[in-house]
Amino acid sequence: MIELVLVIIIALLYTVLVSRFLKVSLHMFQQNKYELFRLRMWEKDNVTKTYPMYIMVTWFFIILLTIFIPIMEVRLFIIVTILVLQLLNQMNKSKFQKFIQPLNVTNRVKRQILVWVIIYVLFGLLIYKVHHHYLITLVLLAAFHLYQMHIVALTGLICNPIENAFKRRFMKKEQDKLFSYKNLTTIGITGSYGKTSSKNMIFDVLSKKYYCLTTPASYNTPLGIAMTIRDLLQPIHEIFICEMGADKVGDISELFDFVQPQIGIVTSIGQAHLNTFRTQENIITEKMKMIEMLKPDGLAILNKDEKFIREYDITSKAKQIWYGIDHEADIMAKNIQYNQDGTSFDVTINGEDVKFQTKLLGKHNIYNILTAIALGVHFEIPIKELVMAIKTLNYTPHRLEVKKQKDFTLIDNAFSSNPVSSKMSLDVLEKMPGQRIVITPGMIDLGKKQAFYNNEFGKYFINKADIVILVGRKQTKPIYEGLEESGFNMKNVHVVNKIYDAYNIMNKVKKPGAFVLLENDLPDAFNH
């Protein structure tokens, strides 16, 4: 009787423990976009998180117990004790673990859990068939959770055909709906950075005259765009502004085939997603497919100041409108003046110099505004309405968004970061009066050049920031080294592992009237 009770307790404890590890594994898989190659790359850098040493030692010890301790009740009692201690440790650890983006238990996740359960049951039956001993079966099944991440990857592999079938059916239905609106003009916008801000500004400007729809937030994947069409697109809409993200070869082709825009915009081409694109040439070719795939009666809006765009040999017959600041362009910003309250600049439109004002900060926001002006001119928005639309533009959330706090100003640039925009953010901070603080985990997804670009970022802080708080000891090591190499006062550099600890330090060191730049906010999968 005692033996049976202990076995039931062990089974229950194990179920609770392994479910907690399953949740972590599914969370990381979700944050890596359910892509196996991304999960493998993450796992490679997080072996100690995936397989904590104390867990491996614990289960090795349990297996030895099942072999060398002759009294069954003693074996079981020791196993129960170890499991309880391990579970308490895990619960205590998770109590202090706050996630920026928790696991979203979608239908896809539920299907993975079902497949995971089937795998475990089959594995348990196989062990019992070989050993014919419930304790050995239980111990080996429990030790199986050391490979939780691999099992989750296997569930993803098994579920992929099902998920792809759902995706194809869903997208075909929404594409048919999109194409049924014959009078709808679709604008596709891509770029290594600037696409979301440009998209929002284009929407604000064109809405002065037309009924417009834009993909919300960063819904720039095939499923995100399809959901926008399903939930939001109506016959009343005249213009659909569609952000298209790409982090590997083939993404833009897939999105363009799905949406087939009449107008294509490329805001920038940089070093973002080198980890998945592999080469700069792949990035250039993929982003410029937005232009190359346009029909001859289409329109291309292009950034003249972007070297990779400017020097690309465009074969598309579509009409081109170029915008810029440093190079002669069709829509060109001049006489730019910055201050803490915003920016003013002139643009020549139809031979007339027009003065624009905006509360937005940063040179890259001027580029974003120029895309909106270029399209405003193309769609014949009156000049006075253009000027007013630019003056009333709102911040794009988490992209150099200025937030006045009780005794300091937060410049929130948390959404993403790349080698160009990160330096532009520091240029903005440099112009701010008073104490200047930066909180950053640095940049990711830059392949073999990631350490180099983070090191260069660290060197750029000199004379632009007074205090630097780095989030993630391993991730930010190249930034720390760059700060040292530049001669930055290292007494004013703090390194923590969690963003919440960074906020605590910021609250201790900031002075009234300080400006705090939050540069990038990595997913939980990368905070280490």
Is 60 exceeded by the pLDDT of residue 235?
A: yes
Nearest to 422 by CA among 443, 452, 439: 443
Rg (CA), the chain: 27
Q: Confidence class of residue 72 from pLDDT cuts 50, 70 and 90? A: low
249 & 335 share domain: yes
Q: Confidence class of residue 149 from pLDDT cuts 50, 70 and 90? A: confident
367 & 422 share domain: no
Q: Detail the DSSP E strand segments found in 79-234.
A: 185-190, 212-214
473 & 382 share domain: no
In whole angstroms, give the CA distance from residue 436 to residue 399.
18
153 & 115 share domain: yes
In whole angstroms, give the CA distance from residue 298 to residue 259.
14
Structure tokens belonging to residue 242: 């569609």
Is 70 exceeded by the pLDDT of residue 134?
A: no
pLDDT of residue 94: 54
More confident residue, 401 or 318: 318
Is 50 exceeded by the pLDDT of residue 461?
A: yes
User: Is there a domain that residue 207 lies in?
Assistant: yes
Q: Confidence class of residue 526 from pLDDT cuts 50, 70 and 90? A: very low
111 & 190 share domain: no
SS3 257: helix
pLDDT of residue 373: 96
pLDDT of residue 275: 66
pLDDT of residue 10: 67
More confident residue, 130 or 509: 509
User: Is there a domain that residue 119 lies in?
Assistant: yes
List the end-to-end C-alpha distance of the chain, in Å, as a whole number: 47
DSSP string, 438-492: EEE------GGGHHHHHHHHHHTTTTT-SEEEEE-TTTTHHHHHHHHHHT--GGG
Nearest to 518 by CA among 434, 408, 433: 408
In terms of Cβ atoms closer than 10 Å to its own Cβ (0-12, 13-18, 19+), residue 311 is exposed
In whole angstroms, give the CA distance from residue 320 to residue 301.
6
Structure tokens belonging to residue 56: 């491996």
Number of compact structural domains in the chain: 3
Q: Confidence class of residue 509 from pLDDT cuts 50, 70 and 90? A: very high
User: Is there a domain that residue 304 lies in?
Assistant: yes
- Order of strands across the sheet that contains 436-440: 401-404, 408-413, 514-519, 436-440, 467-471, 493-496
pLDDT of residue 449: 78
Task: Decide: 215 and 228 in contact? Cβ < 8 Å.
Answer: yes
Nearest 5 degrees, angle CA 322-CA 324-CA 330? 40
- Measured from the Cβ of residue 492, the count of other Cβ atoms closer than 10 Å reads 15
Q: Which of 27-31, 244-248, 417-421, 432-436 has the highest mean pLDDT?
A: 432-436
pLDDT of residue 125: 80
pLDDT of residue 458: 92
307 & 442 share domain: no
Is 80 exceeded by the pLDDT of residue 365?
A: yes
pLDDT of residue 29: 77
Calculate mean pLDDT across residues 363-389. 93
Calculate mean pLDDT across residues 67-80. 65
Segment holding 40, helix H or strand E: helix 36-45
pLDDT of residue 3: 66
Q: Confidence class of residue 528 from pLDDT cuts 50, 70 and 90? A: very low
- Among 391, 416, 435, which residue terminates a domain? 391
Query: What is the percentage of the chain residues whose pLDDT exceeds 70?
Result: 80
Is 80 exceeded by the pLDDT of residue 162?
A: yes
Calculate mean pLDDT across residues 241-265. 91
Q: Among 25-34, 221-230, 416-425, 518-527, whose mean pLDDT is lowest?
A: 518-527
| CATH code of the domain containing 237 | 3.40.1190.10
The partner residues of 356 in beta bridges, in order of sequence, read 345
- Among 372, 391, 410, which residue terminates a domain? 391
Query: What is the percentage of the chain residues whose pLDDT exceeds 90?
Result: 42
Calculate mean pLDDT across residues 232-240. 96
245 & 342 share domain: yes
User: Is there a domain that residue 171 lies in?
Assistant: no
DSSP state of 416: -
Phi, psi of 302 (to 5 degrees): -135, 145
- Which pTM was predicted? 0.72
Q: Among 320-334, 365-379, 428-442, whose mean pLDDT is lowest?
A: 428-442
pLDDT of residue 405: 85
DSSP string, 299-361: EEEEETT-HHHHTS-----SEEEEEESSS--SEEEEEEEEETTEEEEEEEETTEEEEEEES--
47 & 70 share domain: yes
pLDDT of residue 315: 94
| CATH code of the domain containing 443 | 3.90.190.20
Is 50 exceeded by the pLDDT of residue 50?
A: no
In whole angstroms, give the CA distance from residue 206 to residue 210.
6
Q: Which of 45-54, 468-477, 519-528 has the highest mean pLDDT?
A: 468-477
Q: Among 56-70, 249-263, 318-332, whose mean pLDDT is lowest?
A: 56-70
377 & 414 share domain: no
pLDDT of residue 48: 47
148 & 215 share domain: no
Calculate mean pLDDT across residues 327-348. 89
pLDDT of residue 151: 80
- Among 391, 424, 441, which residue terminates a domain? 391
User: Is there a domain that residue 508 lies in?
Assistant: yes
CA dihedral sign, ordered 15, 21, 24, 28: negative
User: Is there a domain that residue 316 lies in?
Assistant: yes
DSSP state of 495: E
What length is written for the chain?
A: 528
User: Is there a domain that residue 358 lies in?
Assistant: yes
185 & 155 share domain: no
pLDDT of residue 346: 95
Calculate mean pLDDT across residues 410-420. 78
488 & 432 share domain: yes
Q: Confidence class of residue 141 from pLDDT cuts 50, 70 and 90? A: low
More confident residue, 146 or 357: 357
In whole angstroms, give the CA distance from residue 181 to residue 248.
30
Q: Phi/psi zone of residue 87: left (φ > 0), alpha (ψ -120 to 50 degrees), beta?
A: alpha
For residues 132-145, one letter each, b for 16 or more C-beta atoms within 10 angstroms of the residue's C-beta and e for the rest, the string is eeebbbbbbbbbbb
Give pLDDT tens digits for 196-231: 889 999 999 999 999 999 998 768 888 889 999 999
Calculate mean pLDDT across residues 433-453. 85
Structure tokens belonging to residue 332: 């060109």
Q: What is the extent of the structural domain holding 462?
A: 401-526
Is 60 exceeded by the pLDDT of residue 525?
A: no
In whole angstroms, give the CA distance from residue 427 to residue 324.
19
User: Is there a domain that residue 458 lies in?
Assistant: yes
Q: Confidence class of residue 9 from pLDDT cuts 50, 70 and 90? A: confident
Calculate mean pLDDT across residues 297-311. 94
Calculate mean pLDDT across residues 309-325. 94
Mean pLDDT rounded to a whole number for the chain:
83
Give pLDDT tens digits for 84-111: 666 666 665 554 455 556 777 888 888 8
